[in-house]
Structure 1
């Protein structure tokens, strides 16, 4: 079987993609690129727990998608030499769901709950007691004859991940012994991420090409790795090698511009600039105009646009900045909004 057959065989391609994802995840804190402060804090927390022969404190990882929260949870389990149990907030919609998970944990196990802010309220309240006293109360029976039966739990470490830390109730947030706020990566850090990924893929790529991908990756390692895969595919199909020209051609094909804006980003921006004369425009009105959910605009699109200075949020709505008008080359109408100091 030829190398081309390997790439076009669906079963082998699926295995290759799974191997790719697993290979790119760092296994230790030393391998993890970026988030220097968070890595130092986690290293101290884990070493102190090891020296005292106890389970590490519960950890909350907060930050935008794609910055490494799941990877850090895996590293916590690896560095603690403990097994990892993975779940997610949307999967825990009843207290019984959480009770089943907690009661099956072995001593020292690390429980990772992704999007923890989306758990059901009844499960959150059960988690309070479990995190503090390693105990849960299970109701047996119904009505006046119902009784509460305490169930002791093995000591465990909860690692919660959230992209919306403001939605976590204070009683839950306060029970985490350590909260890490993950920040977007700068270009040099993303170049390190891409260099490591290229080496694992056996891909020889020019430094200028890596820098080009890094500048278009929105400060997010997950996006950087995904774009590297698309560049690899483009170079393979066209037989050009992963040169700077190939990178630019591949990213143009996939609608990623020089700032890292994708199709939805540009649609949102052009809607604000042309249909609403630069704003202000409300979130719900904007979402309807582009045919997307308001939550998608607010959680996925808007943070990046605000961070790179294309829009700003005001009490009246979203407003385009001077940089946005210049980047899209659209002439501002007489009544168009413009923040001259941005």
Structure 2
């Protein structure tokens, strides 16, 4: 009978705990440790200090901005600096008013409730949240039809921290009930290098300044991506026996292996650009047609790929569809004299 290797459950659990510990170590625990977003940090610090001095829960906070800029981390910091516990949930998980009622009624006084992707909550739950945020009370309907009765339920005072990548989808009555709305911006190269330096120190990877700059340049202005790329560089160093010190060549080799080019474009980004430039001669091309061409969902292209390509000036949006700019032609190494003329005419 052949020998059968049984996975070591204890070792797997230790590995999982180690990864969780690393993930936690990469997250700043205070506003002083948080890198970037200087204006937002100052605003939050004032809000939290005022609440502490007045011995009351902080006002409700809405964190708006693209994914990966630190909204969840800031929510954790709000709870930590307030000396309160943090309750986490998400908009997609709250699909009925009853889901929200159960969550709110279980809060203890002063607790911080974080709802990620708050714009994806069910409409009935959003309407219940209006009264909860303003008066710390909800009305629960008992029965149906003409015999239905509304029973008021008082809630413990709490601080709601909502996070959204699409603040425009929030109804005005909900958005207006937040005492403070923070708009997070993409990071510049210097800030990302500081993020990479801090994370590398916690991962015990030595990166010279040029190597940090190389990772920052490919991180699309996003700390989450910078940390992810750093971990892939760490894996590369381990597998290729480089020890704990990375040279620029190691960083480039590791990220090239994962199809992340010199300005942060990945395989799907380049597939979209190649389709617009080569298949449709620079556009314009409709979103659905483009999605079919590259074999991806239209929503993924619109929410994940397109924003970065537009931000760096490689793609434009017109009433007739998406177009590639001359800069996109240059990046792909395609002659763009004709493209410049086509772009100016649109």
TM-score by length of 2: 0.94
- Distance of 2:274 and 2:19 partners within structure 1: 35
Q: Does 1:268 align with 2:264?
A: no
- Distance of 1:66 and 1:192 partners within structure 2: 16
Please name the residue that 1:309 is paired with.
313
Say whether the 8 Å CA contact 2:30–2:80 is kept in structure 1.
yes
- Distance of 1:48 and 1:71 partners within structure 2: 21
Please name the residue that 2:331 is paired with.
327
Please name the residue that 2:121 is paired with.
119
What per-residue deviation string (whole Å, max 9, x for no partner) do you get for residues 138-181 of structure 1? Answer: 00111111100000001100000001111111111111111101
Say whether the 8 Å CA contact 2:79–2:86 is kept in structure 1.
yes
TM-score by length of 1: 0.95
Alignment of 1:143-154 (within 5 A): 143-154=145-156
Please name the residue that 2:15 is paired with.
13
Say whether the 8 Å CA contact 1:278–1:337 is kept in structure 2.
no
Please name the residue that 2:109 is paired with.
107
Please name the residue that 2:93 is paired with.
91
Cα displacement (A) at 1:54: 1.1
Please name the residue that 1:130 is paired with.
132
SS of the residue 2:31 aligns to: coil
What per-residue deviation string (whole Å, max 9, x for no partner) do you get for residues 217-238 of structure 1? Answer: 0000000000000001101111
Cα displacement (A) at 1:290: 1.4
Say whether the 8 Å CA contact 1:320–1:338 is kept in structure 2.
no
Cα displacement (A) at 1:336: 8.3
Q: RMSD value over aligned CA atoms?
A: 1.7
Cα displacement (A) at 1:10: 3.7
Cα displacement (A) at 1:14: 2.0
Alignment of 1:1-342 (within 5 A): 10-240=12-242, 241-332=245-336, 338-339=342-343
Say whether the 8 Å CA contact 1:49–1:56 is kept in structure 2.
yes
Cα displacement (A) at 1:18: 1.0
99-108 vs 275-284, which deviates more?
A: 275-284
Structure 2 segments unaligned to the other structure (5+ residues): 1-7
What per-residue deviation string (whole Å, max 9, x for no partner) do you get for residues 15-46 of structure 1? Answer: 22211111000000000000000000000111
Cα displacement (A) at 1:332: 4.5
What per-residue deviation string (whole Å, max 9, x for no partner) do you get for residues 270-314 of structure 1? Answer: 011111111111222212221222221111111111111101111
- Distance of 2:214 and 2:336 partners within structure 1: 30
- Distance of 1:137 and 1:26 partners within structure 2: 38
Say whether the 8 Å CA contact 1:59–1:178 is kept in structure 2.
yes
- Distance of 1:11 and 1:54 partners within structure 2: 40
Cα displacement (A) at 1:334: 5.3
CA distance change for structure 1 residues 335 and 65 in 2, over 3 Å: closer, same or farther? closer
279-288 vs 191-200, which deviates more?
A: 279-288
- Distance of 1:170 and 1:235 partners within structure 2: 50
Cα displacement (A) at 1:335: 7.8
Say whether the 8 Å CA contact 1:319–1:338 is kept in structure 2.
no
Say whether the 8 Å CA contact 1:322–1:339 is kept in structure 2.
yes
- Distance of 1:239 and 1:340 partners within structure 2: 51
Please name the residue that 1:3 is paired with.
none
SS of the residue 1:339 aligns to: helix
Say whether the 8 Å CA contact 1:107–1:156 is kept in structure 2.
yes
